Structure 1
């Protein structure tokens, strides 16, 4: 059975799950491109959270999940960086004395060095545009602009739940940064559609796929569970998500394999075993599907984590971790 993992945004690009403080800190520094970040956790250092991230030419977007309270500090923004809370309680401070909730988002400008405080089971999206992609706004952003930016990010996160494959994911992520640059550069004078929502019948589909990993695909049974005909379910899913029921089912199986490959409590990941547990009997076909969906082979997912763990054992990171555990 797959390991437990939170309903993380960008879960198809999960990099670490059940990460220790050392692994988590090293991954955040690498994924956000900021070696000066520090993470302070008061509780259990063995499991502090999970991370997912995708990197395109227009910038980087990462999702940080904190399984317990933590403070993040020490990163100086070289350009506009957006902090978007999506779950739990997230606070920011500029002077280490006054804290306020981050809602609906925080824009860090060049030279800013705020501290972030993530509450237990909180989740935050970090958007770091590439240099020149997003112009730095002058002065305080009006509430209308902040609301439009949040709309833009929320719509992207909705679509991220239905990435068709890696190519589709990268195209939508590139479009997000392009739209963000146009929005900020145009003072918010841009039409942003209402936040997307899923039909309640399709929510039942997601619940079946998420909560019942042992379930074997049966379109007739799935349609009956949702209260529609097979034909209507097929077209409803295509219209609202761009995916067929089976394609989404297959994608969830691949994601569950990825969850296990990046589980930091497992010393030796077993790709073939995890694939077989999810019904992939042909390892070559599984590897091809995995690369199509995530842009890398399963062995590369494992190697990324191994390289990270090796880097985390450097003297600099050992010193950082000693600070975390004080």
Structure 2
């Protein structure tokens, strides 16, 4: 039906939902406000068919919505909301909410580790809470616009899954020297070209572990297929990036499938 991602921080959660076909989500009750960023497609209330706008915010209570095929949405749910400020909560400016979301999405696209992603989520949630109380004190730095030469390098790494890392070749493809490409990427994303390449390979392994149709995913096969020859080193890198071992990913996938079978 699609994909669901969850990133938890000490102050709340960020959920990203992608629908590959039309779906309706019901029975969801939140005791805190919920902020919504519609990234693609359409999202509307399941009760009255009123469309959700990018940067929408909903007060505490029940939430039911429907998504069109191909829709992508991000939602933020704080664990708590300042009790003394409940009567002061307001939806706030949609453009400001979108700016906070977009900055977060840029940061996690180049996250150095799971801890870095959690820190970015925490900053997003705290920023949304502050904005819902007052526009003052909310840092709204613009999302960086990547250099077009750097963008070419990033697209090559992301889109050519069979490509083996070659910095001179990557620099020629980007139209910049190796030294300048290294420092350009480090300055604008916080990652080196190789670290970003490694990150993309880790993500591809995780997707295969989650999406495969076999009963027990073959971790070593998928890792080797993406160029990770040392399984122990791969497991350490995977845990650093996702906050869990590959075997734990397989375990919760199995638990999820077992739960789905119970309701089938």
- What is the TM-score of this pair, normalised by structure 2? 0.93
Q: Distance in 2 between matches of 1:261 and 1:157?
A: 23
Q: Distance in 2 between matches of 1:185 and 1:139?
A: 6
Provide structure 1 residue ranges, at least 5 long, that are not aligned to the other structure: 1-47, 319-326
Of the three residues 101, 110, 122, the one matched with 2:60 is 110
Give 2:208's aligned residue.
260
Q: Once structures 1 and 2 are overlaid, which stretch shifts more, 69-78 or 157-166?
A: 69-78
Q: Aligned in 2, Cα 1:230/1:59: closer, same or farther, shift over 3 Å?
A: same
Q: Aligned in 2, Cα 1:293/1:87: closer, same or farther, shift over 3 Å?
A: same
Report how many residues are paired: 263
Of the three residues 95, 108, 121, the one matched with 2:70 is 121
What is the CA-CA distance between 1:74 and the residue it aligns to? Answer: 2.0
Task: Extract structure 1 runs of 4+ deviating beyond 4 A.
Answer: 133-140
Q: Aligned in 2, Cα 1:129/1:300: closer, same or farther, shift over 3 Å?
A: same
Give 1:174's aligned residue.
122
What RMSD, in angstroms, separates the aligned Cα atoms of the two structures?
Answer: 1.9
Contact 2:45 2:51 in 1 (8 A): yes
Q: Aligned in 2, Cα 1:90/1:196: closer, same or farther, shift over 3 Å?
A: farther
Of the three residues 171, 176, 181, the one matched with 1:223 is 171
Q: Distance in 2 between matches of 1:231 and 1:136?
A: 52
Cα shift readout 1:232-279 (whole Å, capped 9, x = no counterpart): 101110110000000000010111000000015333210000000001
Are positions 1:75 and 2:58 aligned together? no
Provide structure 2 residue ranges, at least 5 long, that are not aligned to the other structure: none
Contact 1:80 1:136 in 2 (8 A): no
Q: Aligned in 2, Cα 1:58/1:117: closer, same or farther, shift over 3 Å?
A: same
Contact 1:85 1:102 in 2 (8 A): yes
Q: Distance in 1 between matches of 2:153 and 2:202?
A: 17
Structure 1 residues 177-256: aligned runs within 5 Å: 177-187=125-135, 190-256=138-204
- Which protein, 1 or 2, shows the higher relative CO under an 8 Å CA cutoff with sep ≥ 6? 1
Structure 1 residues 293-304: aligned runs within 5 Å: 293-304=241-252
Query: Relative to total residues, which structure has the larger helix share, 1 or 2?
Result: 2
Cα shift readout 1:113-135 (whole Å, capped 9, x = no counterpart): 34312111110111111113695
Q: Once structures 1 and 2 are overlaid, which stretch shifts more, 199-208 or 130-139?
A: 130-139
Q: Distance in 1 between matches of 2:234 and 2:91?
A: 47
